[in-house]
Amino acid sequence: MTLGRRGTARRLLRSLTVAVLVDKEVLVPGTSRFLAGEGDRPVVKALRRLVERVVVGPYTNAAGLFKWIEDVKPDLVFNLTEQADGDRGKDGHICALLELLKLPYTGTGPRGMTLCRDKAISKLIAAREGFKTPEYFVLRASAPRLPTRTTFPLVVKPRFGDASEGITQASLVHTKEALLSRIAVLEASDTEDVICEEFIAGREMLVGVLGRRVMPVRELLVGRGSSSKPQLISYRLKHDKAVRRRWRVRTDFARLTSQQERKVRELTRRTFDALDLRDYGRLDLRLNSSGDWVFLEANPNPGLTPFNRSLAGIWSGIDYEKLIEQITIQAIRRD
C-alpha cells in the first residue's frame, strides 16, 4: 500500500483493519479487554478513531499468532508486545515472525531489537556515532573472570534485556567482593551474561524519538538533593508506585543550553538510525559535569502512555492521536 500526502494518508487509514498485538498479561483472561490501568488501552482508543477496524489479541505462541492473523486478515499489526515466553529479551522473535508473514507492523524490527537489547554492542555503536559511553567489560555469571585491573565504582547488570530488569541499588558496587556477590545474585536469577560498566554521575535524561523527530528532552529527578537518595534508576524505582512516591521520582523538561540541545538532537538522530530503530524509540542518557552526553541504553518500542499519564513523559511534543497516527502511517508505508 502506497501512502502519499498527509490528507491521502488519513483517508487510507480509515479503510484499514489493524490488529493490535499485546502481551497476554495485560488482558482479562479469555477476553480482549484490558486490565484496569494498562498502558496499552489508550493506543487502542486512538486507533479506533483513526482506522476502520481494530482487533485486539494476545501473543501466546507462534502457532497462535499465525492462526490469529489468518482469522483477522489485518492490513497492519500494531505491535505492543514486550516479551515472548516470559522473556523480555525475546520480543524480537515476535517481530521475526511478522517478517516471515510479510505483514506490515509498527516499531523496530528484529535487527534493531537485537542491537538495542545488547547493552555492550549498543554502546559500541553509540560511541561510533559520537556519544560518550561508560567503560565496561562483560563476563559469564557462572565463571566470572575479572580484568587484571578493575576500577570502581561499577554498575553490574544483565547484558541483555531492558526496563532495568536485574538492577537494584545493590547493583552499584565499590569493591571486588561486592562485585562478585552481585554477579552471584544475577547468576541465581538465571542471568548468563553480565555487563559491568563505569558508574557515570550526572543528570538522568530521557529522549524520545518519533520518526525523524526528537521529542523535548526530559530529565528524571529523584528526591531533593538528599545524599542518601538512590543512585541508580532501578526496576523498583521505575515500576513500584510506592517507591516512586517515597523518593519523589518525577520527570520534568530538561533545562539545557542551546548548544546542549543541538548536540543531543544530532547524536540522538544518528544513533537512532545506526541502531536500526524504527518508527519510535527512546534513548536513556546522562549529562555529566563536563557537559558530555553519555549513552546508557536504547529502548525500542517504549511505552505509548499519554504524556500527562506517564512517568517518562517523552511524548510531550505531539498530540496523542497524531502520535499514534504517525506511527501507523510510518509502518504501513514500509509495505
Strands 154-158 and 193-198 turn out to be: antiparallel
Domain parsing of the chain, residue ranges:
6-106, 114-132+201-317, 136-198
Read off the pLDDT of each residue in 88-106 and give the average, rounded to a whole number. Answer: 92
**pLDDT tens, 169-218?**
999 999 999 999 999 999 999 899 999 999 999 999 999 999 999 999 99
Q: What is the CA radius of gyration of the chain?
A: 20
- What would the pLDDT profile of 235-256 be if each residue is shown by its tens digit? 788 878 888 888 889 999 999 9
Q: Does residue 253 come out as left (phi exceeding 0), alpha (psi in the -120 to 50 range) or beta?
A: beta
Q: How far apart are CA 135 and CA 195, in angstroms?
A: 10
pLDDT value of position 289: 93
> Is the pLDDT reported for residue 4 higher than 70?
no
247-302 pLDDT, tens digit each: 889 999 999 999 999 999 999 999 999 999 999 999 999 999 999 999 999 999 99
> What is the amino acid identity at position 200?
I
- CB of 267 closer than 8 Å to CB of 131: yes
In the CATH hierarchy, which top-level class contains the domain 114-132+201-317? alpha beta
pLDDT of residue 165: 79
**Does pLDDT of 6 surpass 60?**
no
What pLDDT band is residue 156 in, cutting at 50, 70 and 90?
very high
> What pLDDT score does 239 carry?
78
> What pLDDT, on a 0 to 100 scale, did the predictor assign at position 217?
98
Q: Which amino acid makes up residue 120?
A: A
3-state secondary structure of 102: coil
Q: Does the pLDDT value for residue 151 go beyond 60? A: yes
What's the confidence (pLDDT) of residue 90? 84
- Domain 136-198: top CATH class: alpha beta
Confidence (pLDDT) at 138: 97
- Fold agreement between 114-132+201-317 and 136-198: no
Average pLDDT estimate for 19-28 = 95
Rounded Cα distance between 84 and 163, Å, is 15
Q: Name the CATH code of domain 6-106 (choices 3.40.50, 1.25.40, 3.30.450, 3.30.1180).
A: 3.40.50
The mean of the pLDDT values for the chain is 92
Residue % of the chain over a pLDDT of 70 = 96
Which pLDDT value is given to residue 227?
62
Sign, CA torsion 189/195/198/199: negative
Query: Which residues, at least 6 apart from 87, have a Cβ–Cβ distance to it below 8 Å?
Result: none
Over residues 212-227, the mean pLDDT reads 85
Query: Does the structure show a pLDDT above 60 at 51?
Result: yes
Q: How confident is the model at residue 226 (pLDDT cuts 50, 70, 90)?
A: low
Asked if 193 and 178 touch (Cβ cutoff 8 Å), the reply is: no
If you count them, how many residues does the chain have?
A: 335
Asked if residue 224 has pLDDT above 70, the reply is: no
DSSP 33: P
Contact of 89 with 160, CB cutoff 8 Å: yes
- What's the confidence (pLDDT) of residue 84? 87
Contact 135, 152 (CB under 8 A): no
| Alpha-carbon span 170 to 91, nearest angstrom | 27
Q: Which residue has the cell 514486550?
A: 82
- Work out the average pLDDT over 312-335: 92
Q: How confident is the model at residue 162 (pLDDT cuts 50, 70, 90)?
A: confident
Q: What's the predicted TM-score (pTM) here?
A: 0.92
Is residue 168 within 8 A of residue 106, CB to CB? The reply is: no
pLDDT at 38 over 80: yes
The number of beta carbons lying within 10 Å of the beta carbon of residue 297 is: 19
